[in-house]
């Protein structure tokens, strides 16, 4: 389940694992951006997707 | 009148050129003069292909005088968003980080324009990496709206919008991942068509979101968009997203009229804030369509309210997958907003992305069911006129809203489902900024979208208006 209320500590842990320099002052700008993105995506988790397969664009050759 | 050729449609130019009343050289020279004159104010172009355009124009002039006329785009100037590869011409993707990238092959679209005899006159400015709806660019300068140069041209194909609206190009090409053809077209008062996903090849076009990217024309009339689609549509084995479907003549049924056409108006469109002047113009447009014989039907499209969430995860994740290596290496060289969006996408998980793709399936299925009941969906294109450059929030009458969700409020749904969608002018705000009407159709049924748009255009004169300062 997506966390729409990511703490600063969680953010920095993930940022570190992604290769960001977590001491860079830029992290102060990135943290609210990530929180906003998580909030923007949260409604997807309200949808009932039982038995719904992903929409993919791949078509096997010759189809 | 000076620069009159610069405001002719492709259709009008084709009659003048085929009848030898006007030469492609005259047309190109006049456009190059106009570009030079207006660039200090508008900043529509990143590169101007003066020498090659004049050379092509002379070759096509000889060809036409020699009795070979290729068709309606022969000798007509075309400008491309600076993401379409042209052999030997830098492809910046709107960023100086990429300024030294010079493709060694043409995009399929460029080859198709060349076959049609169109003349490439330059490459157009865009929101950096085609990743934003305003038309800001910190590397090449912001694009300016010809209707008010202090306002955004829209994005990401902002240079395409401003160039066509100001008579700097007859035809421009844009790309649309979350609205990037339709937003600048609406804000600049022109026609923009996002065809069905897979209809036009994206081979040789810088990608942003592979499963959402579309390319299409930005022009002054619906007929011109049909003429361009005739030239560029079709299966391309070089593009994995291209679909092998029959390509009709998109101009054939344009004038058939819309008697009995079922126009769906999703109630959910108006659950979101819309500026009253936009709402009023759309209401008047619907009355006009009804007078032309269409049947207006209020419809339910509940999943529409999830479009922003689904699109955000798909778009940000895909864009981030493509640009994350670059942003980790050269982040400080990105413009700040673009940098944050790319970096932010790295925090979505595979689970989030697949969940969004599952939601997308539901979204497509629900739209298909809805469109069994109607032929097209019609509504506002953008819920306001063009915001001022630097604005971060938009006044929508009842509410202030962030600029990105505002500009993309009605666009993203048709990137998620890949259905064709077009904008055309339907009015002006009190401050004389254009208002766009969106018409969307079933997949592979661009003809219906074009027919409805053409009927509306023929019954109104919004498309004939020119920006006062650039007439």
CA B327 to chain centre: 27
Torsion sign (Cα): B130, B135, B136, B138: positive
- pLDDT at residue A57, rounded to an integer: 63
Of A35 and A3, more confident: A35
Give the residue carrying structure tokens 């379409």. B84
Interface of A with B (CB under 8 A): 2, 11, 14-15, 18-20, 26, 29-30, 33-34, 36-38, 40-45, 47, 49, 52-58
Q: Does B131 touch chain A (CB under 8 A)?
A: no
Q: Give me the interface pTM, i.e. the ipTM.
A: 0.93
pLDDT at position A60: 56
Whether B156 is catalytic? yes
pLDDT at A38 over 80: yes
Interchain proximity A29–B340, CB inside 8 Å: yes
The residue with tokens 């994350």 is: B324
Contacts of B336 in chain A (CB under 8 A): 29
Sign of the C-alpha dihedral, residues B461, B464, B470, B471? negative
CA B80 to CA B164: how far, in whole Å? 11
Residue B410 near residue B416 (C-beta atoms within 8 A): no
pLDDT of residue A59: 57
φ, ψ for residue B421 (rounded to 5)? Answer: -150, 140
- Identify from B306, B358, B419 which residue to disrupt to test chain A contact, counting A C-beta atoms within 10 A and taking the largest count: B358
CB contact under 8 A, B306 and A55: no
**Closest Cβ–Cβ partner in A33, A42, A49 for B344:** A33
Q: Does B295 touch chain A (CB under 8 A)?
A: no
HSE on the CB side for B440, CA within 13 Å? 29
pLDDT band at A63 (very low <50, low <70, confident <90, very high): very low
Q: Does B307 touch chain A (CB under 8 A)?
A: no
- Give the pLDDT of chain B (471 residues) as one tens digit per residue: 789 999 999 999 999 999 999 999 999 999 999 999 999 999 999 999 999 999 999 999 999 999 999 999 999 999 999 999 999 999 999 999 999 999 999 999 999 999 999 999 999 999 999 999 999 999 999 999 999 999 999 999 999 999 999 999 999 999 999 999 999 999 999 999 999 999 999 999 999 999 999 999 999 999 999 999 999 999 999 999 999 999 999 999 999 999 999 999 999 999 999 999 999 999 999 999 999 999 999 999 999 999 999 999 999 999 999 999 999 999 999 999 999 999 999 999 999 999 999 999 999 999 999 999 999 999 999 999 999 999 999 999 889 999 999 999 999 999 999 999 999 999 999 999 999 999 999 999 999 999 999 999 999 999 999 998 877
Distance of CA B208 to the CA centre of its chain: 15
Work out the pLDDT band at A2, boundaries 50, 70, 90.
low
CB contact under 8 A, A40 and B309: yes
Q: What is the pLDDT of residue B1?
A: 73
User: What pLDDT shows up at residue B2?
Assistant: 85
Sorted by sequence, the CB contacts under 8 Å of residue B72 that are 6+ apart come out as: B10, B11, B14, B227, B230
Q: How far, in Å, CA of B350 to CA of B383, rounded?
A: 33
Give residue A50's pLDDT band: very low, low, confident or very high (50, 70, 90). very high
* Domains assigned to chain B: 4-470 (3.90.1300.10)
- Please write down the long-range contacts of B366-370, taking CB distance under 8 Å and 24 or more positions apart: B366/B301, B366/B302, B366/B303, B367/B301, B367/B303, B367/B413, B367/B417, B367/B419, B368/B442, B370/B264, B370/B266, B370/B299, B370/B300, B370/B301
Polymer length of chain A: 63
Q: Chain B residue closest to A37 (CA)?
A: B344
- Which of A44, A51, A53 is most worth mutating to test chain B (most B CB atoms within 10 A of its CB)? A44
3-class secondary structure per residue, chain B: CCCHHHHCCHHHHHHHHHCCCCCHHHHHHHHHHHHHHHHHHHCCEEEECHHHHHHHHHHHHHHHHCCCCCCCCCCCEEEEECCECECCECCCCCCHHHCCCCCCCCCHHHHHHHHHCCEEEEEECCCHHHCCCCCCCCCCCCCEECCEEEEECCCCCHHHHHHHHCCCCCEEEEEECCCCCHHHHHHHCCEEEECCCCCECCCCECCCCCCCCEEEEEECCHHHHHHHHHHHECCCCCCCCCCCCCCCCCCCCCCCCCCCCEEEEEHHHHHCCCCHHHHHHHHHHHHHHHHCCCEEEEECCHHHHHHHHHHHHHHHHHHHHHHHHHHHHHHHHCCHHHHHHHHHHCCCCHHHHHHHHHHHHHHHHHHHHHCCCCCEEEEECCCCCCCECCCCEEECCCCEEEHHHHHCCCCCHHHHCCCCEEEEEEEECCCCCEEEEEEEECCCCHHHHHHHHHHHHHHCCHHHCCCHHHC
């Amino acid at each position: 389940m997506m966390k729409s209320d990511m703490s600063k500590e969680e953010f920095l842990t993930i940022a570190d694992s992604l290769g960001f320099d977590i001491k860079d002052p830029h992290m102060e700008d990135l943290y609210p951006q990530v929180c906003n993105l998580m909030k923007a995506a949260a409604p997807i988790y309200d949808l009932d997707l039982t038995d719904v397969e992903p929409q993919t664009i791949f078509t096997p050759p010759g189809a | 009148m000076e620069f009159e050729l610069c405001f002719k449609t492709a259709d009008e130019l084709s009659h003048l050129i085929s009848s030898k009343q006007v030469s492609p050289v005259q047309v190109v020279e006049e456009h190059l003069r106009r570009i030079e004159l207006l660039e200090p104010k508008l900043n529509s172009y990143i590169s101007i292909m003066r020498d090659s355009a004049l050379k092509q124009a002379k070759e096509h002039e000889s060809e036409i005088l020699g009795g070979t006329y290729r068709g309606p785009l022969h000798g007509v100037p075309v400008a491309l968003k600076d993401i379409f590869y042209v052999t030997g011409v830098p492809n910046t993707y709107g960023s100086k980080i990429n300024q030294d990238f010079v493709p060694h092959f043409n995009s399929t679209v460029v080859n198709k324009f060349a076959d049609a005899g169109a003349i490439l006159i330059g490459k157009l400015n865009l929101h950096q990496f085609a990743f934003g709806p305003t038309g800001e660019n910190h590397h090449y300068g912001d694009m300016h709206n010809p209707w008010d140069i202090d306002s955004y041209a829209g994005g990401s194909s902002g240079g395409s919008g401003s160039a066509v609206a100001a008579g700097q190009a007859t035809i421009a090409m844009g790309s649309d991942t979350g609205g990037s053809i339709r937003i600048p077209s609406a804000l600049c008062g022109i026609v923009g068509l996002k065809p069905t996903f897979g209809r036009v090849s994206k081979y040789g076009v810088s990608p942003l979101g592979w499963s959402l990217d579309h390319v299409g024309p930005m022009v002054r009339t619906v007929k011109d968009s049909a003429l361009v689609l005739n030239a560029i549509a079709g299966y391309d084995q070089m593009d994995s997203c291209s679909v092998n479907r029959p390509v009709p003549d998109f101009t054939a049924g344009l004038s058939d009229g819309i008697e009995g056409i079922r126009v769906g108006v999703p109630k959910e469109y108006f659950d979101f804030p819309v500026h009253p002047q936009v709402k009023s113009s759309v209401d008047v447009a619907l009355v006009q369509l009804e007078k032309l014989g269409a049947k207006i039907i209020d419809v339910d499209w509940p999943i529409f309210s999830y479009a922003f969430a689904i699109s955000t995860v798909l778009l940000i994740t895909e864009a981030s997958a493509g640009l994350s290596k670059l942003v980790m290496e050269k982040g400080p060289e990105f413009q700040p907003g673009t940098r944050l969006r790319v970096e932010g996408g790295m925090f979505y998980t595979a689970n989030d992305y697949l969940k969004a793709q599952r939601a997308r399936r539901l979204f497509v299925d629900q739209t298909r069911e809805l469109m069994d009941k109607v032929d097209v969906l019609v509504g506002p294109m953008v819920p306001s006129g063009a915001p001022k450059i630097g604005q971060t929030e938009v006044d929508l009458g009842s509410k202030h809203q962030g600029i990105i969700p505002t500009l993309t409020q009605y666009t993203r749904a048709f990137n998620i489902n890949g259905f064709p969608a077009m904008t055309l002018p339907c009015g002006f705000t009190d401050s004389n900024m254009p208002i766009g009407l969106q018409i969307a159709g079933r997949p592979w049924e661009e003809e219906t979208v074009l027919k409805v748009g053409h009927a509306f255009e023929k019954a109104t004169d919004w498309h004939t208006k020119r920006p006062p300062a650039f007439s």
